[in-house]
Structure 1
Amino acid sequence: MKTVLITGANKSIGYEAARQLLQKGYYVYLGSRDQQKGQKAADQLKAEGFANVEPIVIDVTSSDSIKAARETLGQKTDILDVLINNAGISGGLPQPAIGTDIAMFRQVFDTNFFGLIETTQAFMDLLKQSAEPRIVNVTSGLGSLTLHSDPAWKYYQVKTACYGPSKSALNAYTIVLAYELRDTPFKVNAVDPGYTATDFNHHSGPGTVPDAAARLVKAATFGPDGPTGQFFSDDNAPDTGISPW
């Protein structure tokens, strides 16, 4: 049975991704900053008939929490097949380039970028034990520098000084990581779940949570011939599914 760790999975897209992977026969470690919320989410999935799920406390902004999560997971399994780096924050709006407090930049980058890197590094040894390891970095179309430079893009006017750049940095890290692992069985990709109606955006997005989660699950379950080092976004590239960086 393949195993997956999903950060920020006690609600919304991460939670639905957990459900869909359980449906595919994966054992899901449901990452959550809050132990009670994580346990509640796991109990809800068990109530639906999914037995192979348990919560893991992990706060990606805390080195101690990440190390503790790695130790906990290592006591449960020797192999991690999939890591979905889903935890993230928006930082609130508006986010002008001039005027947004530097503390907000640091907070957003700590979660969306530095936390993702530290989590990936912490679990790399377990991932390397998998025959088909997969890393899915949850990004955003707002991280595309090419699209942000195109006045014809539908979200051209949606500029965020903290959030978008944190995802651009995430994308850049994904490229480097995929390159370093190019001669291994790893598949490392950045996936934009799309503009989805969630608490993250006050339910303003037109997309659905099941559709968004399915995009993450697709990348998490790529076969041996699947792509790596790509930026997938059905929202911004409906024809090819591959977004410009």
Structure 2
Amino acid sequence: MQTNEKKVALVSGANTGVGFQIAKALAENDYIVYVGSRDLQKGEAAAREIGGKAKAIQLDITDSNSINTAVNAIETEFGYLTLLVNNAAISHAGKSGRTMEEVLGAQRASIAPINELKTVWETNVFATLAITQSLLPLLKKAPAARIVTVSSALGSLQINSNPENPYRSAFDAVYGASKTALNGIFLSLAIELENTNVKVHLVSPGFTATALNNFQGTDTVEEGSIEPIRVALVEDLPTGSFTGPANFSGPNNFLPW
């Protein structure tokens, strides 16, 4: 077991997109970074590209066996975890190759297929909590630990209840509402852990062009990664924070719930 002076991080869904950028930034800031990927070969390619202290680890957050294997590997090698970045997510479970508009149109509350809603929520909500619960004992063994969960301003009830919000029509029952549920669960976790060594943060990358929106977002992945990277690296943010890019959030990047 290594001494817990080393900073050890795990980023889920880190072989591409915002997760990759976060893992890269952490490695550049002297973290040992586990690059979580459902496909180990893709994770290994990403870790090689990142270099430094990046390590590929097979991780499918919807698979309990995959979670247990990853947790056991980290526990065996280090015995603790400094930072967990929950980045893995999906935006839909229907036919691939559709435009963002087509996906959103099919995910309105009045017509959304319940089985597809369950599939998206299984990853974005239940599996994200499952990996967090499994790693919490290792996070509690670090002198100071943090959980950073990549969410979305699209999940904010206050923002979406405002008729002047230009993105309001994109608040769907499948993806958007999954982020609302995610925000609620992790705020609950932050309250539960507020007197412990583990801080909990939620962060929105903004409207970033990734596979989640068929690469139709207005920001590049580098631009969209700025705030998640900041939150992952800054250690003195108040627990329970929910922040987003400065161009659409309030003072100090804080977002309304």
Indicate the larger mover: 27-36 or 228-237. 228-237
SS state at 1:175 partner: helix
1:19 maps to a residue whose letter is: K
Does the aligned pair in 2 maintain the 1:134–1:221 contact within 8 Å? Answer: no
Instruction: State the match for 1:66 in structure 2.
Output: 67
Indicate the larger mover: 227-236 or 139-148. 227-236
SS state at 1:4 partner: strand
1:119 maps to a residue whose letter is: I
Runs of 5+ unmatched residues, structure 2: 1-5, 95-102
Measured in 2, the distance between the counterparts of 1:157 and 1:99 equals: 15
Instruction: State the match for 1:86 in structure 2.
Output: 87
1:180 maps to a residue whose letter is: E
Does the aligned pair in 1 maintain the 2:170–2:176 contact within 8 Å? Answer: no
**From 179, 188, 200, the counterpart of 2:191:** 179
Runs of 5+ unmatched residues, structure 1: none
Instruction: State the match for 1:133 in structure 2.
Output: 145
Does the aligned pair in 1 maintain the 2:149–2:201 contact within 8 Å? Answer: yes
Indicate the larger mover: 206-215 or 106-115. 206-215
2:31 maps to a residue whose letter is: Y
Does the aligned pair in 1 maintain the 2:27–2:50 contact within 8 Å? Answer: no
Instruction: State the match for 1:57 in structure 2.
Output: 58
SS state at 1:200 partner: helix
Matches within 5 A, 1:1-245: 1-46=6-51, 50=52, 52-91=53-92, 93-94=103-104, 95-223=107-235, 225-234=236-245, 235-245=247-257
**Structure 1 runs (4+) greater than 6 angstroms displaced:** none
1:7 maps to a residue whose letter is: S
1:65 maps to a residue whose letter is: S
Does the aligned pair in 2 maintain the 1:141–1:236 contact within 8 Å? Answer: no
RMSD: 1.4
| TM-score relative to the length of structure 1 | 0.93
SS state at 1:157 partner: helix
Does the aligned pair in 2 maintain the 1:12–1:198 contact within 8 Å? Answer: yes
SS state at 2:170 partner: coil
1:41-98 residue CA offsets vs partner (Å, 9 max, x unmatched): 112222xxx2x11111111111111111111222221121000000000016131112
Does the aligned pair in 2 maintain the 1:5–1:83 contact within 8 Å? Answer: yes
CA apart distance, 1:205? 1.2
CA apart distance, 1:226? 2.2
1:132 maps to a residue whose letter is: A
Measured in 2, the distance between the counterparts of 1:203 and 1:221 equals: 26
CA apart distance, 1:197? 1.4
| TM-score relative to the length of structure 2 | 0.89
CA apart distance, 1:198? 1.6
Aligned residues: 240
Does the aligned pair in 1 maintain the 2:171–2:177 contact within 8 Å? Answer: no
